[in-house]
Chain A
């Protein structure tokens, strides 16, 4: 990235439905390499807190927020907890930590937590919302996705999904849940908890690789599902959108994108529709740059763009994944074409959902 380093404390949110294995993952993270200098905030729903007793190596920088969920009733407590941690660190003999990890309750929606971290005037100066790691139970996750909106939101908001209990599930179950997760959130990378070596970098992969992997998965998924797609694209939207209104799609464009036009368009889009945008992740193919520009949006917050020194592969094209709730994907694609690609040749401005070699758009669930 070009520019001065961001010295704010990164905050990582660990999410996942009840019983998915969040505390186990947190315990492994803290006992693994790099886990020592980590402050932890654990949110529990009941009056009696247990999870913090199950987590080792926290050593004085662990706060428990109980009697409510930080995504709704005690969001102010989250703000105060982070402030307390920073005050403790800055005090004499305060605990040293380089990051803060928040373990949410199993019913928490990470979205309002992310909004608090990215919009609170005090917090944005001191901490940086880093990412959401969502734990999904391979055995029960498929049913929870269908029946529990909180579970769906947790998956839709994830940067990284850790699949647990894969030792208890058979291969078909694992394949089915992985495919479902990819269709809901093509921008997240998925790892099997059994195969995770306990190191942090594996959980904190750069966005670029996640997007590349997600694009590959999305293309594969789209290819597999193409035989079942209705002839009309407008019908397809309804088929592949989840009943809750959450859906994903991506835009791909092989022409160079004018960064300024794109930034103005993105700013206007996020300003007007931020309440319907769960995530946007993308790689921009901008002129005069050796690598891509990585973009990342959470609701109304546009993260600082990241300049990659080189492209992850030979495919130098703009790829943007949208995870939205109740936002018309065709309208987004048309707007992108008209405003961002407006200076391109007329041949580019064809059917936005067509199989153009220069621009392709594909629906998720």
Chain B
């Protein structure tokens, strides 16, 4: 699995882009992935942030979950958010698509 496909990988490396790219490009890709995830998370009232190399999912009420991989994001949102992530629900589809 290459870095680009690694977004589906288990473990924290799902945010990593392939090593062939520059450090700046990898950082940009990493931020982009977090931004895309956060776009989908908006209706749940949760947000994914990176702090000191750790990914943390936080709710509006201050509850948090340390996140390992992408599947863990959806699980965490269902636990501490207002609602689970449902990509077929109008609230998640929105009208503007994902901001990249």
Contact = CB atoms under 8 A, between A and B. Distances in A.
Contacts of B97: 338-339, 341-344, 349
A335 interface: yes
Contacts of A263: 5, 7-8, 70
Given A342-B96, A342-B98, A328 B88 contact: yes
Contact of A264 (B7, B86, B96): B7
Contacts of B74: 267-268, 271-272
A305 B87 contact: no
A338 B75 CA distance: 23
A339 B40 contact: yes
B86 A272 contact: yes
B2 A264 contact: no
B2 A268 contact: no
B8 A268 contact: no
A339 B29 CA distance: 18
A286 to B, nearest CB: 8
B51 interface: no
**What secondary structure prevails in chain A residues at the interface with B?**
helix
B94 A338 contact: yes
Given A272-B84, A338-B93, A264 B70 contact: yes
Contact of A307 (B2, B92, B93): B2
Contacts of B33: 260, 264
A269 B5 contact: no
B27 interface: no
A331 interface: yes
Contacts of B40: 264-265, 268, 339
Contacts of A305: 1, 5, 8
A273 B7 contact: no
Contacts of A3: 1-2
Contacts of B85: 268, 271-272
A269 B92 CA distance: 11
B5 A343 contact: no
B32 interface: yes
Given A339-B40, A339-B93, A271 B5 contact: no
A304 B100 contact: no
Nearest to B9: A304
B93 to A, nearest CB: 4
B25 interface: no
B88 A332 contact: yes
A163 B20 CA distance: 46
B86 to A, nearest CB: 5
Interface in A305-319: 305, 307
B60 interface: no
Q: 5 smallest A-B Cβ distances: which pairs?
A: A342-B97, A263-B7, A331-B88, A271-B74, A338-B93
Interface of A: 2-3, 258-261, 263-269, 271-273, 286, 293, 302, 304-305, 307, 328, 331-332, 334-335, 338-344, 349
